[in-house]
């Protein structure tokens, strides 16, 4: 079972699911400092683009695959998202060729920012008035196509997806305004994270009246 840990280095603050199959020592994969079980770390200064025409943003927390991240960039560009937040161990276009190879240039058209600690970022986004939606199957999840979005028209909406193995950080789930799930009619219980993000992003964009 994956447990979420946080780096003790205040200049790093990486928060991620510790996978013992990949991380043999309990050290931060980003800076090498000691990590501890989940605890609140320091806040990072947030530079928020509050004036985008389309108030729909995406947050990718600990998405390991550069190809999935690149696919999300293409989806964000196509669905009209105005911002992506890349968090934790999620690779970014400046450091990972796989992201750029799959994004096919959309990493240049979709603004993005990197934050090592998604939990702290989500707290700041909520304080700024954003509505936080988790794409995650939980006991209280609402089916995506049943979700009523009209009540939050005047607030930026942040769609959060997390690690395919560990799921969304439980600390983040506790902060979300709602958890959304995609109905599955086959034998599998979930979709590839970029595919799921695409379905949800396009549906929410449609509900917001975006072309």
Does residue 52 have a pLDDT over 60? no
Residue spans per domain, the chain: 56-207
Q: Answer yes or no: are the C-beta atoms of 50 and 156 closer than 8 Å.
A: yes
The tens digit of pLDDT for each residue in 78-122 reads 999 999 999 999 999 999 999 999 999 999 999 999 999 999 999
- Sequence-ordered strand ranges (E) for the chain: 3-7, 15-18, 35-37, 56-61, 83-87, 112-115, 131-135, 142-143, 157-161, 178-181
Whole-angstrom Cα distance, residue 136 to residue 133?
9
On whether the pTM is more than 0.85, the answer is no
The tens digit of pLDDT for each residue in 152-199 reads 556 789 999 999 889 999 999 999 999 999 988 877 777 899 999 999
Q: 142-143 and 131-135: which strand pairing? A: unpaired
Query: Per CATH, is 56-207 categorized as 3.40.1280.10?
Result: yes
192 Cα distance to chain centroid: 14
Residue 50: its pLDDT value, please?
A: 43
* DSSP string across 118-172: HHHHHHHHHHTT-EEEEE---TTPEEGGG---GGGTTS-EEEEE-BTTTBS-HHH
């Amino acid at each position: 079972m994956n447990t979420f840990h946080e780096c003790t280095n205040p200049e790093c603050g990486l928060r991620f699911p510790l996978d013992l199959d990949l991380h043999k020592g309990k050290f931060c994969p980003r800076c090498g400092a000691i990590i501890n079980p989940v605890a609140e770390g320091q806040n990072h200064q947030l530079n928020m683009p509050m004036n985008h025409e389309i108030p729909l943003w995406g947050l990718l927390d600990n998405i390991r695959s550069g190809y999935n991240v690149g696919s999300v960039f293409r989806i964000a560009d196509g669905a009209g998202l105005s911002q992506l937040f890349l968090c934790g161990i999620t690779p970014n276009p400046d450091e990972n060729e796989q992201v750029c190879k799959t994004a096919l240039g959309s990493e240049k058209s979709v603004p993005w920012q990197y934050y090592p600690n998604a939990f702290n970022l989500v707290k700041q986004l909520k304080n700024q008035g954003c509505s936080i939606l988790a794409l995650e199957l939980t006991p209280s999840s609402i089916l995506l196509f049943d979700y009523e979005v009209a009540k939050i028209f005047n607030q930026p909406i942040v769609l959060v997806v997390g690690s395919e193995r560990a799921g969304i950080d439980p600390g983040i789930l506790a902060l979300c305004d709602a958890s959304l799930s995609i109905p599955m009619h086959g034998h599998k219980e979930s979709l590839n994270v970029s595919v799921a993000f695409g379905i949800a992003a396009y549906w929410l964009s449609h509900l917001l009246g975006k072309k």
